[in-house]
Amino acid sequence: MDFDFNLILVPLTLVLGVIWLVEKFALKQRKTRGRGQENVFVRWAYDFFPVLAVVLVVRSFLLEPFNIPSSSMVPTLYTGDFIAVNKYAYGVRLPLTYNKILDTGSPERGDVVVFRYPENPNIYYIKRLIGLPGDTVSFDNGQISINGEPVPTKVADFDANPELTAQLYGAGEVAPGQMLDAKQAKEMGESEEMGAQYLQETQGEHQHLVRYITGMNSSQYGPFLQSQSPDVVSSEGKQWQVTVPEGHYFMMGDNRDRSADSRFWGFVPDENLAGKAVYIWMHKPAGLTLPTFDRNGAID
């Protein structure tokens, strides 16, 4: 989710809307000249402005589609999933300025949230909300606790779909200096899955699976965690603790050892929230492939 489509949609809709209004209520040349003689911009305004206006309203205030570009939320979401995001779950916001004009709800622990990446707000990320403002989030060898209370967690019996496992990584640079072709990327995903362990976590009304990789612990590489004082983060990253400041949230990917999340870049401000991921409506692997719909369903 590397680009904010509203950067194009909003200015284009506004420009065509102004042209439509001026022509409709001031110039009124369309009635005297006819469609064939009218200015090309006027024709575009009449043809496209109503459609773009509807799209803008739906995308900005109701539902917006997103495509999952990485495996950081496996097994909840896989690369190639197309999802619908509820834009009014956490308040109605104006496009581009992101000012909240109507408070319609608040995030809850366990929500799958789309937000603007704190280090580059033009990019959208998707993670699971772990810590609310004021929460103390701690981790001890795979067990997450909130304010000293362990999140209910148990080993899950889960067999990953081999086709989805083969799509975990795409060709290209998967790590600094590590370049893979399509075959190597497929083999990497399949090999890694052999050492994957799945746990079931329950947070509020959400019951979901998380994935850990035997022998890995990405927390030890998280710059944000490592910037904390030694008394709250062990050098190996197997135990850590952070307190979420007011007006912010702590996010983690479900693919715990393959997710660049709050452990790496810190907390997400409330004004960066874009919506709640609610539904998978299509899956399409990379390349010239047909979409499938067998993953359709609500996101927990």
Say whether both 126 and 240 belong to one domain: yes
β-bridge partners, 60? none
Say whether both 54 and 73 belong to one domain: no
- The one catalytic residue in 60, 71, 127, 186 is 127
- The one catalytic residue in 60, 72, 219, 262 is 72
Nearest to 299 by CA among 166, 120, 60, 111: 111
Say whether both 58 and 74 belong to one domain: no
The answer to whether position 145 is within a domain reads: yes
Which of 14, 40, 62 terminates a domain? The answer is 62
Nearest to 211 by CA among 57, 35, 71, 49: 71
Residue 284 bears catalytic tag: no
- Contact at 8 Å (CB) between 23 and 29? yes
The answer to whether position 51 is within a domain reads: yes
Say whether both 144 and 253 belong to one domain: yes
- pTM of the prediction? 0.86
Residue 72 bears catalytic tag: yes
Say whether both 45 and 102 belong to one domain: no
Instruction: Provide the pLDDT for residue 60.
Output: 82
Averaged over successive runs of 10 residues, the pLDDT of the chain (300 residues) comes to 72 86 72 61 83 85 91 95 96 88 94 96 95 95 93 95 90 75 89 94 94 87 79 72 96 95 96 96 87 94
> Could you list the residue range(s) of the whole structural domain that residue 72 is in?
68-298
Which of 25, 46, 62 terminates a domain? The answer is 62
The total domain count for the chain is 2
Say whether both 35 and 150 belong to one domain: no
In CATH, what number is assigned to the domain containing residue 256?
A: 2.10.109.10
Say whether both 100 and 248 belong to one domain: yes
Q: Which residues contact 43 (CB under 8 A, 6 or more apart)?
A: 35
Say whether both 137 and 19 belong to one domain: no
CA angle, residues 57, 247, 233, in degrees to nearest 5: 125
The answer to whether position 37 is within a domain reads: yes
Which of 62, 90, 105 terminates a domain? The answer is 62
The answer to whether position 177 is within a domain reads: yes
Say whether both 203 and 124 belong to one domain: yes
The answer to whether position 272 is within a domain reads: yes
Instruction: Provide the pLDDT for residue 226.
Output: 81
Nearest to 135 by CA among 148, 121, 118, 120: 148
Say whether both 34 and 94 belong to one domain: no
Say whether both 113 and 249 belong to one domain: yes
The answer to whether position 1 is within a domain reads: no
The answer to whether position 205 is within a domain reads: yes
- What φ, ψ does residue 263 adopt, rounded to 5°? -65, -25
Give the span between the Cα atoms of 85 and 298, in whole angstroms.
Answer: 11
| Tokens at 156, concatenated | 């899950």
The answer to whether position 98 is within a domain reads: yes
Instruction: Provide the pLDDT for residue 35.
Output: 54
| Tokens at 150, concatenated | 């362990």
Say whether both 168 and 45 belong to one domain: no
Instruction: Provide the pLDDT for residue 3.
Output: 62
- State the Rg of the chain over Cα: 23
